[in-house]
Amino acid sequence: DAGVIQSPRHEVTEMGQEVTLRCKPISGHDYLFWYRQTMMRGLELLIYFNNNVPIDDSGMPEDRFSAKMPNASFSTLKIQPSEPRDSAVYFCASRVRGPNSPLHFGNGTRLTVT
């Protein structure tokens, strides 16, 4: 299995531009999570999906952030308009149901907003 695949690996954009981050979870995993990593806050949960349905989006910072999962093999996290404070590493992770099931992380997207 190729693991969780995220794209792009790096994104540099100007303030005000739209940014779309992409994630392909491991096949058969029915939970998908989006996390943001910053020095100040560590790993923060933004949103998670179960069977493509958003379950908890209370971690999404504000209306500029949105996430979709149109099918079991693809999810996007969109920021519109982007701001410099959005600069961070964004991780996607997936897992199967069950108490002993760990998260499998992608390699992350490093976003820089200038």
Partner 1 sequence: ILNVEQSPQSLHVQEGDSTNFTCSFPSSNFYALHWYRWETAKSPEALFVMTLNGDEKKKGRISATLNTKEGYSYLYIKGSQPEDSATYLCASVEGQGFSFIFGKGTRLLVKP
By CB under 8 A, name the binding residues for partner 1. Answer: 4, 31, 33, 35, 42-43, 45, 48, 50, 55-56, 91, 97-108
- Cα 11 to Cα 111: distance, rounded to the nearest angstrom: 5
CB of 53 to partner 1, least distance (A): 12
Structure tokens at 48: 């998670």
Q: Closest CB to partner 1 among 54 and 81?
A: 54
β 104-105/88-95 pair status: antiparallel
CB of 6 to partner 1, least distance (A): 9
Which three-class secondary structure state does DSSP give residue 73?
Answer: coil
Cα separations in angstroms, 16 against 34, 61, 74, 114: 22, 16, 25, 9
CB of 80 to partner 1, least distance (A): 26
Q: Closest CB to partner 1 among 85 and 97?
A: 97
